[in-house]
Amino acid sequence: MEPTSPLPTDNSPSLAYALQHTFGKIQHSSSSFLEYLAMYLKDKVQRMTIDPPVDTRVETVGLDAAGLVALADIGTVQERTVLTGTSSFLDIFVLVPGLHLQQKAPSLNTGEHPACGALTTGYVFRVENPATVFYLQRVGRTGNLTHVEVKKVPEPTTWYGTLFSMLLPGQEMSILPITAYLLAVSWGIGVFILLALTGDWWGLAMCGSLMAARFINYIIIRERSHPGWAGADEGDTKGDLLILLSQDRWVRMKGLVNDLKAVTSGQWLRRERPVESWFTAIATVSVYLVAALAGNVEQFGKILLLCLFIGSAGLLAIANTCTKQLHMHGCVLSVVGEPTPYARRRDLTDQLIVESGRDDWAIGMGMITAPTQDNKGFRGGAAVVT
């Protein structure tokens, strides 16, 4: 039987042509796509080299005077300096209004130096440390006796504790104040990075000038806050002090005598040396220059600076409000228990005389009058009865 011949395929040439035509279209499309991709990437690279990576187009708002916010007389920086007893390196990135007033932190006590009596020895003197006075004014309540305890700050025993004490000296180990403070630090760093990404060199210069002013104040505060004279060493003797503040606020402070002397006697910040005062003046003038030249900043940069000032001030105020302790010369002051109310100051005096077993401190502080020859043993008639 003869083999059958294959059927004729009349469409074979048309199929080959179709395949060839399809491959041609694919090749043409691929080359067109590659050309388009190359042109797109080239245009994108040119735009990135010319335009900033962040879109800064905002509606026109008159913010030429935004730099004046930096000159606002806000005491958050001074208060933070008092509560920590010094300044930390991270303070450089916390840019808040009134930062040029940091060296005036000792004036927060409004000039008050309250009378203080030692219930153990009878000596009467004044609290000379303005930072301690400010803290006592803050925790004291009118018509109440507030109990304050003074302790030595324990030395860190771990590597992260040592690192924390170096970066954040005098910071209270509580979640809320530390979180608010670190957010203020992050906000300052974030605004600095945004100004760099937008290519706003005037805004970057303004922000850098404020950080430079903060750095100068940081160095000077650290140098001025070294412990100075605090009297002779008293060993492990315990002390008990009664402090009479204005507005009938009374504070009883207990602790080792050496610790009590460290926070009440001597000075907190020594007087500035001539060189330090020169650098302080430079830092202050730089802040005023920022306010004067802020009009050159781009519109988006002005908004960033304004948000930086307001946000950092709010976060630092939260950190200050949530801080319940005062760190001073290696010691920490904290309130113990709730304040005790008294109907009259004489009731407080009589109770403390019974507890201490002596009344010479009360006589020296003018809380009672001294006995006379005509009326020996008389202890009535306080100097100021309330």
Q: Enter the tokens of residue 174.
A: 């509580």
Give the pLDDT band of residue 381 (cuts 50, 70, 90): very low
For residues 233 and 80, which has the higher predicted lDDT (pLDDT)? 80
Mean per-residue pLDDT, 316-328: 93
Residue 385 confidence (pLDDT) above 50: no
Q: Enter the tokens of residue 129.
A: 């440390």
Mean pLDDT of the chain: 83
Helix-, strand-, coil-residue percentages of the chain, each rounded to 5: 55, 10, 35
Give the pLDDT band of residue 372 (cuts 50, 70, 90): low
Give the pLDDT band of residue 383 (cuts 50, 70, 90): very low
Long-range contacts at 164-171 (CB < 8 A, ≥ 24 apart): 167/88, 167/89, 167/90, 168/88, 168/90, 169/84, 169/85, 169/86, 169/88, 169/327, 170/83, 170/84, 170/85, 170/86, 170/88, 170/327, 171/84, 171/88, 171/327
How would you class 189 by CB atoms within 10 Å of its CB: exposed for 0-12, middle for 13-18, buried for 19 or more? middle
pLDDT tens track for 280-303 = 999 999 999 998 888 888 888 888
For residues 46 and 199, which has the higher predicted lDDT (pLDDT)? 199
Amino acid in position 207:
C
A 10 A CB-CB count for 340 gives: 15
CA-based nearest residue to 94, from 169, 163, 191, 160:
191
Structure confidence at residue 167 (pLDDT): 74
d(CA 252, CA 118): 10
Q: Enter the tokens of residue 140.
A: 């004291």
Mean per-residue pLDDT, 313-329: 93
Structure confidence at residue 230 (pLDDT): 75
Amino acid in position 247:
Q
Structure confidence at residue 132 (pLDDT): 94
Amino acid in position 165:
S
Give the pLDDT band of residue 179 (cuts 50, 70, 90): very high
Q: Which of 66-70, 89-93, 273-277, 355-359 has the lowest mean pLDDT?
A: 66-70
d(CA 337, CA 172): 18
